[in-house]
Structure 1
Amino acid sequence: MSGPVRKPGKPAKKYSQAARLHDVIRILKARYGATVAELAEECGVTRRTVYRDLQALEEAGYPLTREEQPDGTVLHGFISEFKDTLPITFSLQELMTLYFCRGQLAFLRGTPFQDDLDAIFARIRSALPARSVAHLERLAEAAVPRFQGLRDYSGKREILESLRDALLRQYRCKILYAPPRREAEEYLFDPYTLLFFKDSLYLGGFAHNRGALRLFLVDRLQRVEPGAERFEVPEDFRVEDLTGSAFGLIDDAPMAVRVRFAPEVAHLIRERTWHPDQLLAVEKGCSVVLSFDAGGEKEILSWLYSYIPHVEVLSPPELKRTFA
């Protein structure tokens, strides 16, 4: 018995990878997750093909997750609240802002984040006329800040790659952290966020060993091992929970700080917000008194020293003595 006759000039229909990937995306978005066996059956392909397709989606930037079930099967899905979006376009003004921001991140040199930035701007350059790219590059060079004591994170590349994956997919980690002049200690840790502070990277999250939020300087991380278990960031979590009332990042007991700045530097103090709850009073003669409640004596002193001889600590008495 002969098979179906195909019309002349019409090739046999093939299930292309592009069409198959579209179906995989549709299936994973329509439900909590799917196993490789389910995807293979619904797409009419082998398990090996499904594994290749999942890898292709991950390499294309889709935020895939793997969750092992009690019966040993693995569910593949997207990170919560992920939505497919249309290609993003930018105005020239928005692109200029992006180029300005890139110049502020020189301390990321040698990290996987710098690789990601380079890839992003390579795509932008490929979509713009050469003249526009050259103009944006000139503007960006004019906005590059000067850094002193720049940290070198190239030696932490492997650790940062693991952290990036754990942050993106919300994987619980085992980390080995070595505080200054103390033995390294292992923590079971839920990484919530990375903080950039004074050109340094800090990892913030929940330390199960301590039953509390903790901040770790990335420079002192010796090992990061993401596990298969996922966690959820509490809905009421705020970055301020990691730093408390600290002037910087060191959350000591808060103190009521009052500092007088002479007229020579008063304009510099008025131009910035130094603490969310600060009070600023202008005195006769154009000096200013800055008041706030904060912890972190060493960070406060380091900041005040930069204004000598135009600064006077008024209170508290212990800070005044130390400063003197």
Structure 2
Amino acid sequence: MSELSQLQRTLRILQVLSVRDRVTVKDLFEHFDRQIPQRTLQRTLVLIEESSLPLRRETGAHGQLHFSLERRFHFLPELLNADEALAAILLAQFGEHFEGTPVGQALAQVIEKLEQLLPLNGVVARSGILGLGDTFRIKQPGRVQGGAGGQVLLRLLQAILERRVCRVRYRKLGAGGEGREYLIHPYSLALVAGAIYLVSRQAGAESWISLAAQRFVQVDLLEDTFEREPGFDLGTFLNGSFGVWQSEPAEVRLEFSAIVAEFVQERLWHPSQELEQREDGSVTMAMSVGLSSELEAWILRWGPHCRVLGPPPLRARIRELLGQALAAYDDGTPTA
């Protein structure tokens, strides 16, 4: 057998492992016609392990090591197609939500591995997945700075998967100090408007609460477990509100001027929305949604181009807020 390079030797070993389980160094020694020292083969197996390939080792009789590749491993991995490459780009953009945390580091490693599966002649491959700032980017004004600590998110995710009761210390918005202690049943995590929220129930209570992940001061998983509400569905839960704050649904009717009508029509603002265009170009929107400060803020963002038709309490509330905003400018300060 002519002398093999390290790469050739590694590929030959992977070929053997891809069709056989519980391969020993002695097996490989015989496979290479006893031309490659067993110590060299042992070092190559260690290099394969360190390359994050799914190589499993078992200790057999007399301490002999047996090596196997997990069956899900393909010796010749499939390259990403265009849709999969785009999915990888989208995934990479969520890294900024976890920057500086263990979750962010793990996500960066996943993206680095995906980059190795890009076709060499692909447009995306030439730009590189890790340098995506000029290729695709998600802009989220108001995104939480710093976000929740990686350990907090990992603990919450573990609690959700294992249905563990949690003792948490949580600091409400505007409250100082170390926050208050609660016993909660964690159900789901949701990314809403640039922030991660935990959807949960307080132990002994029937109502649902949404807790901002960045305001958790401490999360402890207890040995106690809880039974999930059989009918709970995260999508249905989120559809009941305009953001995350829950309240009884109301029949909301809004009128948008012709200036913003097309912009309103081309987007889904709420799953229950129904749009109707009028002859003057304006658009009316009807939706069943809970009244909340999030809905009020969204209506106010349209300025004079959105008018509340109903229900009366929402219409009165918007009038009140507009009056307060006008009063804030009616202080005698001259305009430029």
Quickly name the TM-score band, shorter chain normalised: 0.5 to 0.7
- Give the Cα separation in 1 of the matches to 2:147 and 2:62: 42
| 1:241 shift after superposition | 5.5
Report which of the two structures shows the higher radius of gyration computed on alpha carbons.
2
Which of 173, 176, 181 in structure 1 is aligned with 2:169?
176
- 1:208 Cα offset (Å): 1.5
How far apart, in 1, do the equivalents of 2:282 and 2:62 lie? 76
Shift of 1:130: 6.1
Give the letter for the 1:113 counterpart. V
Equivalences for 1:55-204 in 2 at 5 Å?
Answer: 85=72, 89=78, 90-104=80-94, 106-128=96-118, 132=122, 133-137=125-129, 141-153=134-146, 156-181=149-174, 184-204=179-199
Distance apart, 1:285 and its partner CA: 1.1
After TM superposition, list the pairs within 5 Å mapping 1:1-324 onto structure 2: 18-20=56-58, 85=72, 89=78, 90-104=80-94, 106-128=96-118, 132=122, 133-137=125-129, 141-153=134-146, 156-181=149-174, 184-231=179-226, 233-240=228-235, 242-243=237-238, 245-324=240-319
Unmatched 5+ residue regions in structure 1?
1-8, 22-42, 47-61, 63-83
Q: CA deviation at 1:307?
A: 1.2
Match in the other structure for 1:37: none
Q: The residue matched to 2:100 in structure 1 has which SS?
A: coil
What is the identity, as a one-letter code, of the residue corresponding to 2:90?
F
Determine helix, strand or coil for the equivalent of 2:308. strand
Shift of 1:317: 1.9
Partner of 2:56, secondary structure, is: helix
Q: How far apart, CA to CA, are the structure 2 residues paired with 1:253 and 1:18?
A: 54
Separation of aligned partners in 2, 1:305 and 1:196: 23
Q: TM-score, normalised by structure 2?
A: 0.65
Aligned to 1:59: none
Q: Distance in 2 between matches of 1:112 and 1:172?
A: 23
- Structure 2 stretches lacking a partner, 5+ long: 1-28, 35-45, 47-54, 64-69, 320-336
| Contact 1:213–1:242 (CA under 8 A) maintained in structure 2 | no
Q: Quickly say closer, same or farther: Cα 1:260–1:155, change in 2 above 3 A.
A: closer
CA distance in 2, matches of 1:123, 1:316: 53
The structure-2 alpha-carbon separation of the partners of 1:294 and 1:94, relative to structure 1 and needing over 3 Å to count, comes to same
Contact 2:160 2:188 in 1 (8 A): yes
Whether contact under 8 Å (1:175, 1:186) holds in the other structure is yes
Counterpart of 1:123 in structure 2: which amino acid? K
Measured on the aligned residues, the alpha-carbon RMSD in Å equals 3.5
Percent of aligned positions that are identical: 22
Q: What amino acid sits opposite 1:173 in the alignment?
A: C
What is the TM-score normalised by the length of structure 1?
0.67
Q: Which has the higher mean CA deviation after the structures are superposed, 200-209 or 127-136?
A: 127-136
List per-residue Cα deviations over 1:5-64 (Å, max 9, x = no partner). xxxx989xxxx993539xxxxxxxxxxxxxxxxxxxxx8899xxxxxxxxxxxxxxx9xx
Residues 169, 44 of structure 1: CA spacing in aligned structure 2 closer, same or farther, 3 A cutoff? farther
Q: Is the 8 A contact 1:304 1:311 kept in 2?
A: yes
Q: How much has 1:291 moved relative to structure 2?
A: 0.8
